[in-house]
Amino acid sequence: MSVGEYMANITRPLSFPSIPDLPESPDFAPLPTPGLPVFPHGLRRGGITEIAGPRCSGRMAAILHILAQATARAEVCAVVDTNDQFHPASAYAARVNLASLVWVRCGKNAEHALRAADLLLHSGGFGVVVLDFCDVKPRVLDRIPISYCIVFGERSKIRLPFFWFVVRLPRPKPRLIRWS
Amino acid sequence: MYACLYLPGTPNGMPKQRLVALAREFSPEVEHTSADTVVFSITPLRAILGPPYQIASEISRRGYERDLNAHLAIAANADTAILLARQFAGVRLVASGEEASQLANLPLESLFAHDVPVDPTLLDILHQWGLKTCGDLAALPEAGVRERLGLAGVYLRNLALGHINRPLRIESQEAEYEEQLELEHPLDRLEPLFFLFGRALGDLCGRLRSQSQAARILDARLVLDGKPEYQCRLEFPVPLSDSRTMLKLLQLHLERHSPEARVMGFKLRIEPVVPRRMQNGLFLPPIPQPDKLQVTLARIAGLVGEGNVGTPQLLDTFRPDAFRLTTLNGSCFEQKPDDSRRQILRLSMRIFRPPVAAHVQVMDFVPRRIVAGDVKGRVVEWSGPWKTSGEWWSSHAWTREEWDVELDDGALYRIYRDVPASLWYVHGVYD
Amino acid sequence: MTEGANRLPVILPAARHTSTTQFVELHARSAFSFLEGSSLPEELAVRCAELGITAMALSDAHGVYGAPRFHMAARKLGVRALLGAEAATTDGSRYTLLAKNRQGYHNLCRLITRTKLRDRHRGKPENPVATQNDFAEFAKGLICLTGGTEGPLARVFSEHRGSAARQGVQKQVELLIRIFGKENVFVELQRHHRRKQEVRNQALVELARSMRLPLLATNGVTHAIAAKRKLQDVLTCVKYKTTISEAGRLLSYNAECHLKSSAEMNRLFADLPEAIAHTGELASRLSFTLEDLGYEFPHYPVPAGETEISFLRKRTDEGARRRYQPYSDKARRQIERELALIGKLKLAGLFPNRLGHCRILQA
C-alpha cells in the first residue's frame, strides 16, 4: 500500500474554511494544480489562500504538493516557518526542488515570521510564499496586529505574481477574510 | 582601427596608470607600448559609438573629464597611430590608405624613437644618404633598400609607409579592484562611513562593469582606533555589479556586527568573476531579482539569525532530519521548467525541533499510550520498530527505534526510543 | 479503516508468538565476498551453532571460495553447510543462486568461471557479469532467490514506482521462472527494520501470492554478530575508496544484517509464517554439500538395458573364459570379489574405458 493511499485512509478530511470565493473577473489568474482536488479552480495568483485544518489533515502534504508543482515550473518559492517544523526530507520526497526554495526558520517567533514574510513580499518574484502558522498558540495569533492582514491584502490587490498561503490552527469560528 | 594615447612629459608611473585606466574604459585589451603610450583597438566600438571621429570625440571627452592632456591618434594600424600620437598634439584621425601621406612629414628620428628592433646606426646611414623625413624613405624603391640595408631597412620603409600590421602586444594582467582610504578624522558613526563606501563602491563597480565583470566576493577591512583590524567578507551567490546593492549588503552586515572602535580608514577589495548571462524566456515564470533577493535575505538573516535562512540541502547520511542550510545558489535562477516531475501527494511530516520528551507506556514491546505535552492518547495503530543507527565512530552516534503510531484522536505521529538512553521522544507528526 | 489491507506494515512483538518453526539462513556472505562481508566462514558456523541453526547456506559474491572453510567448520559443529553464490547480472543486480545437487554445484562453478574468464581481458576481473544466456545455460540444479537490496527486484523498485514497478517486477520474476523453472524460484523477503524495505516487502508478498510463488525469509547476512557491523562499515569505505565520515549512505542503515535465531526470525515474520517454513523445506531440497564432492570417474556408454557393472561383469566373464582354461572356482571367486569391490567404489565405468584403450593398442 502506498503512503498516499494510507494517508487517504487514515487522515481526517482537509478543511479549507476560508478560501476566498473565486471571483469571475479577468484579473483572476487560475493555476491548475492537478492532483489536489480541494482546489478545483487552481490557486489565485497574487492572492492569499488560507489553508486550515486540524493536525494530520494533510496541510503539509498539500503545501508540499503545491511547492513541488511551483518549483517544477522553475519558480522560486519561500517557506516562512514560524515554529521551525518544516521537514526538508519530506519536501524532497514530495518532489520539491529544494535548490529553489528559501526556508526561513523563525524559531517560534510569530512577529519575525510576519516581518520576514513582508520582506519576501517586498522582494517580489516568488512563485509561492508559504507562511506557516501551524501549532502557533491561538493567543499569539490573536496578538498579531490586523494591520499585517491589511498590508498583505493591499499586495494581493495589486496582483503581484506570487501566492500567499497562511497555514494556521483551526479556530472555533474561522475568520473569513476576503481580499478582493 | 587602433587608437593611441600619448601623454607627453610623464616622468613617473602614476600618469601611466591613469592613461591605462582611460584606455580600459574603451577596450579590455590595451597595449602598454611604453611608459607614456598606450594603444588599443577601437574596431568593436564602431558598432556602439559610431564612426571614428565620434569615437575620437568620446575618448577626448573622457580624457578631458579625467584631466588628462594626452595626444590621441587613430589609424588603421597600431604603429601609424603611435607615430602620429607621439608627433602631434590634440587629435589626429587617419583614414585608411592615407597613412603614407600623413606620415610623410615626420622626421626620420621618430621612427627610431619607436620601440623597433632596428640598429640605431642605420639612422646615420640614412642621414648620410640625405634623407630627412619618412616621406623621403618611403619614396625609395623597396628592392634597392633591401639590397643595401637588408630586412631592417625594409621594415623601416614599411613603417614610414604605414604598412605594418601587427597584433597588439597585450600583457595579461589581472586587474585589481581595490579602493582604500585613510581618514583624517576617525569616524565613530556608521552613516558617514557608508557615504564613503558608496563612493568607493561606485568607482569599483564602474570599473567592474567596464571590464564586463561582476563581484563574487567583497572584502572589507576597517582600520580601527586602537583595536585589531575589522574584517568582513561578503560572498555573493549571484555575482553583483550594482554598487547600491553591495552597499546595502555591507550596511546590513555592519549594522549587525558593528566595529568595536572608531574607524580610521578602510580598504575595499572585490574579487571579480565573469557574470552569468541568461535570458529569461517569454513564457517562463517571474523570478526574484538576484541582487534584490540577496538584500532581502540579508535583512531576514538580521531578523531571525544568520544560520536560519537559506536553501535546505539534505545531507548524505541516514541520520534522521539531517540537513544544512546553504546560501541560495545562483543555479536556482537558471532552472528550466520540468514537466517530468510526477504529481504525487505524499505523506509529509512536520518535525518537532527539539523532539518532545514523552512518557510511553509499553506493553508486549509495543507502545500503547503516549503522553508528551499536547500529544497524548491511546495508541490504536502502530508500525515499527524501524531501527536506525550510525556514525558510531563520532560523538554524533545515534541508535534509534522509531514507531509510527496513530492515536485515538486520529493523529499520526512518529515517536522514537533513544536506545542507549532508553528515553522516548515524539519526533514529529504526519501532517 | 479496514482491517488488514490498509494496515501499515507491522512487525509483531515476541510475546504474542509461541511456536517456533525451524529457520535456515539461506543468504549469507562471508569475508570471502571481497569487502562485502565482515565475518569469516568459521565465525558464521560458530554463530549458527550458538543460535541452534541446523543448516546455513553460504552464498558469497562471485565465488565459492569460502565454502571449504565453512564446510569444515560447520561439520565439526554439526551444522549442515549448504552452498551457493551471488552472481552479478548485466543490469547491475545480483541473483542469489543455491546448489540443489551435484549438477547444480557444477553449473554454479562453471557459471562463475565463465564470467570471470570473460572479464579477464577487460582488466576488471573483480566485477564479473553473467548474461541471461549464461544463466540459461547453467540453470540446471540451481535455486534462484530474488535477493535483498542488491537483488533484481529491489533494483526495479528503486527505478520505478507504482504500477510501473509492479509490472517491472512481474516481468523480472517471469524471466527468472523462464530461466530456472517455477519450482526453483523463491521470492526472498528480508526484514531489517527499514520502512522502505517493508514497503517493498508488501509489494513482493502481493506479487508472490498472485504468481503463486513461495516466499522465503532470509536475513541477508553480512556479519555473524551485530557488533561486526562496524567492521563492515570500514570495509565498505575501503571498497568505495572513501573515508568513513564521507561514506554517508554507502554505510549500513543499522546493525540488523547479522545471523538471527529461529525465534527471532519467527517473531519478525510472524505475519508470514510460510516464509520461515519454506526455509526448512528448501534446505531439505538442497541435497548437495561438499561432503559429496569425491571424484567420480567418467561414465562409459553402455548398451540399453545394461548398467556399467553388468556390462563389466559380462566383459570380464568373456575374458576369464578365454584366460582360465579350465575356469576354476577359485578364479571365479576371486573375480567375483574384485567386481564387488569395483561396484562398491563406483569404478565400473573406468574399466570398460581402459578395455577400449587396450583394444585400440592391440589393433
Q: Where are the domains of chain A?
A: 3-20+31-168
Contact assignment for C194 to B386 by CB distance below 8 Å: yes
Residue C8 has pLDDT above 50, yes or no: no
Instruction: Pick the range with the lowest mean pLDDT from A95-109, C115-129, C199-213, C229-243.
Output: C115-129
Same domain? For B156 and B13 the reply is yes
Asked if the structure places residue C287 within a domain, the reply is yes
State how far residue B328 is from chain A, nearest Cα, in angstroms.
Answer: 7
**What would the grid cell of residue C105 be?**
554445484
CA separation, residue A178 to residues A117, A130, A161, B222, B303 (Å): 19, 18, 18, 52, 30
Domain that holds residue B390: 349-430
Q: What is the pLDDT of residue A3?
A: 36
Asked if the structure places residue B168 within a domain, the reply is no
Residue B63 and residue B59: Cα distance in Å, rounded? 6
Give the single-character DSSP code of B12. Answer: S
Residue with cell 509529509: B348
Residue C16 has pLDDT above 70, yes or no: no
Asked if the structure places residue B359 within a domain, the reply is yes
Asked if the structure places residue B96 within a domain, the reply is yes
Asked if the structure places residue B385 within a domain, the reply is yes
Q: What is the pLDDT of residue C120?
A: 63
Same domain? For B12 and B153 the reply is yes
A-B contacts at Cβ under 8 angstroms: 197
Nearest of C232, C261, C197 to residue C40 by alpha carbon: C232
CA separation, residue C238 to residues C61, C223, C227, C251 (Å): 17, 16, 19, 11
- Predicted confidence (pLDDT) per residue in A140-177, tens digit: 777 766 556 545 544 443 333 334 455 544 433 333 33
Enumerate neighbours of C (3 or more CB pairs within 8 A). A, B
Residue B302 and residue A122: Cα distance in Å, rounded? 16
Residue C85 has pLDDT above 90, yes or no: yes
- Which one is predicted more confidently, B281 or C154? C154
User: Taking every pair of C-alpha atoms in chain B, what is the biggest distance, in angstroms?
Assistant: 120
- Which one is predicted more confidently, C150 or B291? C150
State the Cα torsion B223-B228-B229-B232 to the nearest 10°: -130
- Which residue among B97, B131, B161 closes a domain? B161
- Predicted confidence (pLDDT) per residue in C164-173, tens digit: 888 999 999 9
Confidence of residue C2 (pLDDT cuts 50, 70, 90): very low
Contact assignment for C6 to A6 by CB distance below 8 Å: yes
Q: What is the mean pLDDT of residues C252-269?
A: 92
Same domain? For C161 and C268 the reply is yes
List all residues 6 or more positions away from C105 whose beta carbon is below 8 Å from its beta carbon. Answer: C83, C99, C141, C288, C293
Residue B360 and residue B426: Cα distance in Å, rounded? 10
Same domain? For C184 and C316 the reply is no
- Which residue among B95, B129, B161 closes a domain? B161
Residue B110 has pLDDT above 80, yes or no: yes
| DSSP structure string for B172-193 | --PPP-EEEEEEEEEE-SHHHH
Q: What is the mean pLDDT of residues C267-274?
A: 90
Same domain? For C223 and C319 the reply is no
Tell me which chain C residues have a C-beta less than 8 angstroms from the C-beta of B386: 193-195
Tell me which chain A residues have a C-beta less than 8 angstroms from the C-beta of B313: 88, 98
**AA identity, residue A152:** F
- Predicted confidence (pLDDT) per residue in B49-74, tens digit: 888 888 889 888 888 888 888 889 99
Asked if the structure places residue C193 within a domain, the reply is yes
Neighbours of B244 (CB within 10 A): 14
Residue C85 and residue C73: Cα distance in Å, rounded? 18
Residue C33 and residue C5: Cα distance in Å, rounded? 39
Asked if the structure places residue C232 within a domain, the reply is yes
Residue C308 and residue C299: Cα distance in Å, rounded? 8
State how far residue B427 is from chain C, nearest Cα, in angstroms.
Answer: 16
Asked if the structure places residue B328 within a domain, the reply is no
- Which one is predicted more confidently, A155 or A52? A52
Q: For chain C, what is the domain count?
A: 2
Same domain? For C259 and C313 the reply is no
**Helices (H), ranges, chain A:** 3-10, 59-72, 88-93, 110-123, 138-143, 146-157
Same domain? For B87 and B157 the reply is yes
Tell me which chain B residues have a C-beta less than 8 angstroms from the C-beta of C252: 390
Contact assignment for C202 to A6 by CB distance below 8 Å: no
Residue with cell 552586515: B253
Write the ipTM: 0.78
Q: What is the pLDDT of residue C57?
A: 95
Confidence of residue A7 (pLDDT cuts 50, 70, 90): very low
Q: Is A88 helix (H, G, I), strand (E, B) or coil?
A: helix
Residue A142 and residue C81: Cα distance in Å, rounded? 72
Tell me if B412 sits within 8 A of B377, measured CB to CB.
no
Domain that holds residue C318: 308-362
Same domain? For B150 and B17 the reply is yes
- Predicted confidence (pLDDT) per residue in B6-19, tens digit: 888 755 556 677 88
Residue A135 has pLDDT above 90, yes or no: no
Q: What is the pLDDT of residue A149?
A: 56
State how far residue B341 is from chain C, nearest Cα, in angstroms.
Answer: 13
Q: What is the pLDDT of residue B387?
A: 92
**What would the grid cell of residue C284 be?**
531439505
- Predicted confidence (pLDDT) per residue in B316-372, tens digit: 999 998 999 888 766 666 666 665 545 556 678 899 999 999 999 998 888 999 999
State how far residue C128 is from chain A, nearest Cα, in angstroms.
Answer: 34
Burial letters C289-327, b for 16+ CB under 10 A, else e = bbeeeeeeeeebebeeeeebbebbbeebeeeeeeeeeee
Residue B199 and residue B197: Cα distance in Å, rounded? 5
Same domain? For B65 and B17 the reply is yes
Residues facing residue B71 across a β-bridge: B6
Question: Least CB-CB distance to C13: which of B318, B366, B387?
Answer: B366
Confidence of residue A30 (pLDDT cuts 50, 70, 90): very low
Confidence of residue C244 (pLDDT cuts 50, 70, 90): very high
A3-20+31-168 belongs to CATH 3.40.50.300: yes
- Which one is predicted more confidently, C279 or C308? C279
Find the helix or strand (DSSP H, E) in which B416 lies: strand B412-418
Enumerate neighbours of A (3 or more CB pairs within 8 A). B, C
% of chain B surpassing 70 pLDDT: 90
Q: What is the mean pLDDT of residues A4-26?
A: 37
Do you know the residue count of chain B?
431
Q: Is C125 helix (H, G, I), strand (E, B) or coil?
A: coil
Residue A160 and residue A46: Cα distance in Å, rounded? 5
Residue with cell 522582494: A123
Instruction: Pick the range with the lowest mean pLDDT from A70-74, B131-135, C156-160, C355-359.
Output: C355-359
Contact assignment for C5 to A2 by CB distance below 8 Å: no
Tell me if B304 sits within 8 A of A78, measured CB to CB.
no
% of chain C surpassing 90 pLDDT: 55
Give the single-character DSSP code of A28. Answer: -
Instruction: Pick the range with the lowest mean pLDDT from A167-176, C74-83, C104-113.
Output: A167-176
| Interface membership of A79 toward B (CB under 8 Å) | no
Same domain? For C31 and C117 the reply is yes
Q: Is C26 helix (H, G, I), strand (E, B) or coil?
A: coil
Residue C233 and residue C38: Cα distance in Å, rounded? 9
Tell me which chain C residues have a C-beta less than 8 angstroms from the C-beta of B382: 8, 10
Asked if the structure places residue B140 within a domain, the reply is yes
| DSSP structure string for A44-79 | -TTSEEEEE--TTSSHHHHHHHHHHHHHHTT--EEE
Same domain? For C128 and C157 the reply is yes
Asked if the structure places residue C302 within a domain, the reply is no
- Predicted confidence (pLDDT) per residue in B218-263, tens digit: 898 988 888 888 888 888 877 888 888 888 888 888 888 888 888 8
State how far residue B195 is from chain A, nearest Cα, in angstroms.
Answer: 24
% of chain B surpassing 90 pLDDT: 16
Question: Least CB-CB distance to A123: which of B292, B304, B329?
Answer: B292
Residue C205 has pLDDT above 90, yes or no: yes
Residue A96 and residue B338: Cα distance in Å, rounded? 11
Q: For chain B, what is the domain count?
A: 3
Residue B116 and residue B125: Cα distance in Å, rounded? 17
B182: left (phi over 0), alpha (psi -120 to 50) or beta: beta
Same domain? For C277 and C326 the reply is no
**Helices (H), ranges, B46-103:** 46-49, 52-65, 78-87, 99-103
Same domain? For C227 and C98 the reply is yes
Same domain? For B306 and B360 the reply is no
Same domain? For C269 and C339 the reply is no
| DSSP structure string for C58-82 | EEEET--TTHHHHHHHHHHHT-EEE
CA separation, residue A81 to residues A115, A131, B187, C83 (Å): 12, 6, 40, 56
Residue C158 has pLDDT above 50, yes or no: yes
Contact assignment for B381 to C13 by CB distance below 8 Å: no
| Interface membership of C162 toward A (CB under 8 Å) | yes
Confidence of residue C7 (pLDDT cuts 50, 70, 90): very low
Residue B146 has pLDDT above 80, yes or no: yes
Strand bridging mode A77-81 / A101-105? parallel
| Interface membership of B333 toward C (CB under 8 Å) | no
Handedness of CA C75, C77, C82, C88 (dihedral sign): negative
Nearest of C139, C104, C137, C91 to residue C285 by alpha carbon: C104
Same domain? For C262 and C332 the reply is no
**AA identity, residue B108:** L
**What would the grid cell of residue C237 be?**
569505505
Q: What is the pLDDT of residue A17?
A: 34
- Which residue among C252, C267, C293 closes a domain? C293
Backbone φ and ψ for B268, nearest 5 degrees, come out as -110, 130
Q: Is A16 helix (H, G, I), strand (E, B) or coil?
A: coil
Nearest of C305, C294, C297, C306 to residue C353 by alpha carbon: C297
State the Cα torsion B211-B248-A98-A114 to the nearest 10°: -160
Neighbours of C119 (CB within 10 A): 15
- The arrangement of strands across the sheet holding A101-105 comes to A48-52, A163-168, A128-133, A77-81, A101-105, B309-314, B323-326
Contact assignment for B430 to A105 by CB distance below 8 Å: no
Q: What is the pLDDT of residue A38?
A: 53
Backbone φ and ψ for B148, nearest 5 degrees, come out as -95, -35
Asked if the structure places residue C97 within a domain, the reply is yes
Residue A22 and residue A151: Cα distance in Å, rounded? 21
Same domain? For B273 and B306 the reply is yes
Q: What is the pLDDT of residue A23?
A: 37
Neighbours of B233 (CB within 10 A): 12
Nearest of A70, A122, A123, A117 to residue A98 by alpha carbon: A70
Nearest of A19, A111, A123 to residue A76 by alpha carbon: A123
State how far residue B406 is from chain A, nearest Cα, in angstroms.
Answer: 9
Residue with cell 482536488: A37
Same domain? For C273 and C314 the reply is no
Instruction: Pick the range with the lowest mean pLDDT from B145-159, B264-278, C94-108, C155-169.
Output: B264-278
Same domain? For C258 and C344 the reply is no
Confidence of residue C30 (pLDDT cuts 50, 70, 90): very high
Asked if the structure places residue C301 within a domain, the reply is no
Tell me if C111 sits within 8 A of C139, measured CB to CB.
no
Q: What CATH number is given to the structural domain containing B236? A: 3.30.1490.100
The residue of chain A with its CA nearest to that of B294 is A123
Tell me which chain B residues have a C-beta less than 8 angstroms from the C-beta of A94: 344-346, 348
Q: Look over chain B and give the mean of its residue pLDDT values, rounded to a whole number.
A: 84
State how far residue C255 is from chain B, nearest Cα, in angstroms.
Answer: 7
**AA identity, residue C113:** T
Q: What CATH number is given to the structural domain containing C228? A: 3.20.20.140
Give the single-character DSSP code of C258. Answer: B
Q: What is the mean pLDDT of residues C221-242?
A: 94
Contact assignment for C1 to A9 by CB distance below 8 Å: yes
Backbone φ and ψ for B62, nearest 5 degrees, come out as -65, -40
Asked if the structure places residue B318 within a domain, the reply is no
Nearest of C166, C146, C160 to residue C275 by alpha carbon: C146
Q: What is the pLDDT of residue B95?
A: 86
* Interface mutation target, options C200, C201, C254, C260, chain B, most CBs of B under 10 Å: C254
- Predicted confidence (pLDDT) per residue in B272-325, tens digit: 877 766 555 565 566 777 778 888 888 899 889 888 999 999 999 999 989 998
